[in-house]
A and B are shown apart, each in its own frame.
Chain A
Amino acid sequence: ETGVTQTPRHLVMGMTNKKSLKCEQHLGHNAMYWYKQSAKKPLELMFVYNFKEQTENNSVPSRFSPECPNSSHLFLHLHTLQPEDSALYLCASSQDGIAPGGTEAFFGQGTRLTVV
């Protein structure tokens, strides 16, 4: 295990549903990330939190809403999603998100989301 836990592992939701993805890290890291991974495409960075403050929002639609109550927990709230939002959503953490020296990111196992 990497020390980053995501729940649920799988989620099927209708386009009118509201659901939340949860991520928890036990590594004492200060930065947490949400990534979207679609088939045969590079990982897409969605949000970055440093010391609980959101520092990046890569033009993500408002139907995705992140929440970081503390440096160990990260949520992604979902509402009125579209079928094209179906993907693997990965949470990651690193010691320091702003260090240019190459801080390693540790990933959770992901939530496989299917929007029907």
Chain B
Amino acid sequence: KNQVEQSPQSLIILEGKNCTLQCNYTVSPFSNLRWYKQDTGRGPVSLTIMTFSENTKSNGRYTATLDADTKQSSLHITASQLSDSASYICVVRPRSNYQLIWGAGTKLIIKP
């Protein structure tokens, strides 16, 4: 069964610190993997997208990595800001169809 597991479920860090969120998936073969940011009370917004052949993709202070061999992805946030407080969701698109496989997300809280 295609699954996407994210860890940790929640994380609290101090402003200015770095953090890394994890995503493990069993979807194979897959077309691409996205990370979304979802602010409280809002819909998800795409941060990065990577195909199976890409290893890393950056978007400002956000850097996503992908290891297709171990079926793992990570989202690294550098020099965290209060506005980074949100849920971060990993989403994988199987190559066989267009239905997305969503993770449950990591809730990140940045404290001043």
Which label, helix, strand, loop or mixed, suits the secondary structure of the A interface?
loop
Shortest distance between the CB of A97 and any CB in chain B (Å): 6
| Size category of the binding interface on chain B | 20 to 34
Shortest distance between the CB of A49 and any CB in chain B (Å): 13
| Size category of the binding interface on chain A | 20 to 34
B98 contacts A97, CB within 8 Å? yes
Q: How far is the CA of A40 from the CA of B45 in the complex (A)?
A: 18
Query: Does A53 reach chain B (CB closer than 8 Å)?
Result: no
B78-112 residues with Cβ-Cβ distance < 8 A to A are 89, 93, 95, 97-105
Query: Does B31 reach chain A (CB closer than 8 Å)?
Result: yes
Residues of B at the A interface (CB closer than 8 Å) are 4, 9, 31-32, 34, 41-46, 49, 51, 89, 93, 95, 97-105
> Apart from A104-B46, A105-B46, what are 6 other A-B pairs with CB-CB below 8 Å?
A102-B49, A104-B34, A105-B100, A107-B44, A108-B43, A112-B41
